[in-house]
Amino acid sequence: MRFVAEHNVIGVAMDWIFGSWAAQGPHYYMLAQMAWNPYADGEAILKDYYQRAFGPAAETMAGYWDLIERAATQIGFEGKSEREVWNDDFFQDAYARLDRAASEAGTEVYAERVAFVRAGLDYLRLMQEMLPFIDRLTETKGQDTEAKAATQAKWEAVWAELKRIMQAQPFAIHGSYVQPGNRYLTKYNPDQFKDSQ
């Protein structure tokens, strides 16, 4: 933001912000604050966000978002695959942090906000759980009828859980990302093999 301000940019529009607050809340808050004042202290902005959003659980939630940031950096800038990064150890660590934050939250409003963030992690976990099933179909080019049935059953279970999550937290994940036909979900969707004989 400082770079664009120093080059006489008078406004910003970002078409990749999809409204998935449960997965990207601190990023949205930081962008909004820095768009208003490009010379603001980024660390102070994040501290303010965590304190206002999570109260007594602020420090633990800051640690959770640091974990997410490190994972995203590994994928986006260090050449690691999503599967390497979004692994069992990652999810165990992430859920443990959210469990701790929930116990620290104290009041209902802060506890609800931790639950809101958990919805984003749940979404990520569910998508990753689909990949071994898709791998099996890919290996057989969709020919394995047993694998097809297992993958379809898993997909239906995933969507049942997503519907439950979205009923509880309707603003956590952008609506288009919880629609089976979304193109970003193709790699998780067994329908990509529906024409295989």
Domain that holds residue 51: 2-193
**CA-to-CA distance for 162 and 158, rounded, in angstroms?**
6
Return the closest-CA partner of residue 61 out of 118, 8, 9, 12.
118
Query: Whole-prediction pTM value?
Result: 0.88
Q: Which of 172, 37, 39 is nearest to 116 (CA)?
A: 172
- Total of domains in the chain: 1
Task: Provide the pLDDT for residue 171.
Answer: 87
**What is the per-residue burial (b if ≥16 Cβ within 10 Å, else e) of 57-95?**
bbebbbebbeebeebeebbeeeeeeeeebbeeebeeebe
Q: Which mean pLDDT values do the consecutive 10-residue runs of the chain (197 residues) have?
A: 80 70 89 90 95 97 96 94 94 98 95 96 93 90 88 92 90 75 78 69
